[in-house]
Amino acid sequence: MRVLRLPAIHHDANLVVVEGSAGNLLIDAGTSWYQSLQVERIKGVLADENRLDRIILTSKRYPCSGGAKHLSESFSDCTVHIHPDGQAALEIGDFFTTWANRFDSDMPPVVSQSVDEGDVFALGDGQVESLSLPGHSLDGMGYWIPEQKMMILGTLLPRADRPTRWDLPGGCLPDVLESLKRVVAYKPKSIIPLQGPAIKGVQHVKEILKRHIGFFEACLENDGKVSLSVPKPAKTALWYSPHPPWPLDEQEQV
């Protein structure tokens, strides 16, 4: 089995192509801004450029889901999967809860199938397992690839140096903490966040998760409020930008 991260473009999420001997899938679809380019990027890394069986989403947020309709249609109507709490938003093209409106964009509606806690996508020589990881939103999902001890986290961990927001519709601070602690229990060797480079190495991953958990624990102790030293997020930001900035060292930039 082969796992490839297609680095995020602008506001898009990282796209993750998982290619197996019995099927291929894509994790997250990016916005609709670069959807045609994303199709070409995906075809460029697949052994069979027209074979994509399904798209599974970490969240209904526009940076993850906006391109799902176009990508699905471009690969022989492959199925789109999202947590049940995100299905209605996708199917009506809700540009409020998806946050497409924050990007001055429409949300292309797309029919989806549910993906739930414990669902397994078998790919022949490996598999992808689904975890419900609410916190940023109720429909937040993570995907665990046991053969590589890799976790794809989407909006729960936007970047190594940027903690997620929970003050958006469906967000919950205690859920963020519980979900991150659950990720720690898997002892991943690598994490692919929403954007930015993969986080690699067991100890390094542990340190990054500890930093994020510490941030949210401090917020919880502060009556659920972010420190006044943290700037107000931009209207499109799905994360906070701590001050002083958290480092992105060479190991994180692999």
Decide the pairing of beta strands 127-132 and 141-145.
antiparallel
pLDDT computed for residue 254 by the predictor:
36
Residue 252: pLDDT band (50, 70, 90) is very low
Distance separating alpha carbons of residues 142 and 120, to the nearest angstrom: 12
**Among residues of the chain, what percentage have pLDDT more than 90?**
92
Phi and psi at residue 246, to the nearest 5°: -70, 145
Q: Which residues of 152-166 are buried (b: 16+ CB within 10 A; e: fewer)?
A: bbbbbbbbbbbbbbb
CATH code, domain with 133: 3.60.15.10
Q: How many domains does the chain have?
A: 1
Q: In the block, which residue shows the tokens 């602008």?
A: 10
Does residue 246 register a pLDDT over 70?
yes
Q: What is the pTM of this model?
A: 0.95
Domain that holds residue 92: 2-253
Q: What is the pLDDT of residue 77?
A: 81
Per-residue model confidence (pLDDT) at position 59: 97
Q: What is the pLDDT of residue 99?
A: 93
Condensed to tens digits (0 to 9), the pLDDT of residues 102-121 reads 999 999 999 999 999 999 99
Report, as an integer, the average pLDDT of 11-19: 97
Res 177: pLDDT: 98
Least confident range of 33-37, 75-79, 100-104, 244-248: 244-248
Start-end of H helices in 187-235: 202-221
**DSSP states of 29-60:** ---STTHHHHHHHHHHH-SSTT---EEE-S-S
